[in-house]
Structure 1
Amino acid sequence: MSTFPAFFDTLSKLEIPADVARAWVMTDNAQVLFYEVHEGGANDDLADGAEWGLILEGTVEITIDGVTTSYGKGESYFIPGGVPNRKYNHPGTVGIDVFEQSDRFPDVVD
């Protein structure tokens, strides 16, 4: 069962890591991901554009410029552009991420 409404399936889907079940893009100026994580997993160390996120369910651990913080349901975070960061999504995490980069993840056409 999805946290998000069925009409999200009509939005452009994104090419994202296999541990994420579904994600969508919403704008040409930035990327907005509504995501659900199945198995959990970490991204590589990054230092790209700014990112804001909100955790709807579960927990994510984010290391920003060497400082690790856990965020849970209802908590938001901000990663400044160009600052080294790494994220670990625990299994079952559901959230919203907004990326300054409109091409953070390639768009996939069904």
Structure 2
Amino acid sequence: MESIFYKPILNLPEADIPIKGVHAYLSQGNNHQIIFMEFSEDVDLPEHSHASQIGIVLEGQIDLVIGGIKSTYRKGDRYFIPEGVQHSGKIYAGYADITFFNEKNRYFTK
């Protein structure tokens, strides 16, 4: 699978995300993280919560259940998950996004 991201993003440290089929690159701030993610396989996300999260869909499709409400997001869509709200979902192969996490230690580098 050829990456949709350009070299400056591919040169970022890889994020250590324990999900099969994900390639993720980490931009680390003092109090947040921005993750550039691509998925080569379908992934089921179990219900969980954490600090707030904002996603911008670049390619593909993701189904999210946020606070009990199911929505589908595709290329060009964006989503917001408030802090502490339970969420789960399904990510489909070919999905790519940019995700902002409002916490500095959500993920670490490989």
Is the structural similarity TM-score above 0.5? Answer: yes
1:107, CA displacement in angstroms?
2.1
Alpha-carbon deviations, 1:7-51, whole Å to 9, x = none? 223212110122212332332321101111000202221121100
- Alpha-carbon RMSD across the aligned residues, in angstroms, is 1.3
**Displacement, 1:60?**
0.4
Q: C-alpha displacement at 1:86, in angstroms?
A: 0.8
- 15, 31, 43: which one pairs with 1:29? 31
Other-structure match for 1:11: 12
Aligned residues: 108
Instruction: Name the SS of the counterpart of 1:45 in structure 2.
Output: strand
Corresponding residue for 1:45?
47
Any idea what SS the aligned residue of 1:25 has? Answer: strand
Amino acid at match of 1:34: F
In the alignment, the residues of structure 2 paired with residue 84 and residue 40 of structure 1 have an alpha-carbon distance, to the nearest angstrom, of 21
Instruction: Provide closer, same or farther for how the CA distance between residues 23 and 44 of structure 1 changes in structure 2, counting only shifts above 3 A.
Output: farther
Residues 49-64 of structure 1 mapped to structure 2, 5 A cutoff: 49-64=51-66
* 1:13–1:25 CA contact under 8 A, matched in 2: no
Question: Is the 8 Å Cα contact of residues 25 and 107 (structure 1) preserved in structure 2?
Answer: no
Report the Cα distance in structure 1 between the residues aligned to 2:66 and 2:7, rounded to whole angstroms. 34
1:80 equivalent among 82, 86, 95: 82
Q: Normalising to structure 2: TM-score of the pair?
A: 0.90
